Amino acid sequence: MSGGSGGSSGWVPLEANPEVLNKYLERGGVAGGCRAVDVLGLEGEPLEWVPRPVLALLLLFPCSERYETHKRQESQRIKDHPQHVSPNVFHMRQTVHNACGTVALLHCIANNADKIQLQDGCWLSKFLQDAEGLDAVARGSLLENCAGVVSTHLELAIEGQSALPNADDPVYHHFVAFVHKDGHLYELDGRKGFPVNHGVSSPDTVLDDSIRVCKEFMERDPTDVNFTVIALTASE
């Protein structure tokens, strides 16, 4: 499941599986150009099974005390030593509890809009047009009030759960996205006030570069097995 904090009343979390995400893409108006697939292992043969090219990576991880400590330290480090962030990176804040699955998927789509075909007039295309030029907080508010986003999220959250949680139930896992933009790998998290630049990357290496950072998440909580990695891949 996907959770994460936000400032408004909660949604039912999305289940972290490619079937749900692919239905989300279809209902959002994606006519072609991408699909979600499981990444079953972070090295060796399982990585070879992931279709290429990879557009972005989604990571669901436990929000442990170790992660929260790292998050605070990371924020302070970036404040002390400002990072380079391309002005072309699309980042939005998460204002709704349990909306992190939707936010992460939209981060993947928005930062690969040139590679993904959208149907004319679909709610996803309209949202991206309306969000252009807004800051991250305003984009979060726009998302919260977009009827197409809300209905798609809630329909698929209900459809994807075997045991449906309440919207206000505590959820201890969170979705983030990893995308390549203008020569660097960015971690995009709706709970953070800024993208995190994880170094040099390229369209050809975005999978390996993202996996490297995913391993860092796992190394912070080596006894927890509740991690899920999903790739958004290009398709004909």
Q: Which domains does the chain have, with CATH numbers?
A: 18-233 (3.40.532.10)
pLDDT of 32 > 80? The answer is: no
pLDDT at residue 104 tops 80? yes
Coil vs helix vs strand at 70: helix
**Residues carrying an active site annotation:** 100, 174
Which tokens belong to 99?
């909306």
- Mean pLDDT for the chain overall: 90
For residue 107, give the nearest of 145, 67, 140, 155 by alpha carbon: 140
pTM for this prediction: 0.91
C-alpha span between 30 and 221 (Å, rounded): 35
- Rounded CA-CA distance 42/56 in Å is 15
Q: What does the pLDDT read at residue 171?
A: 56
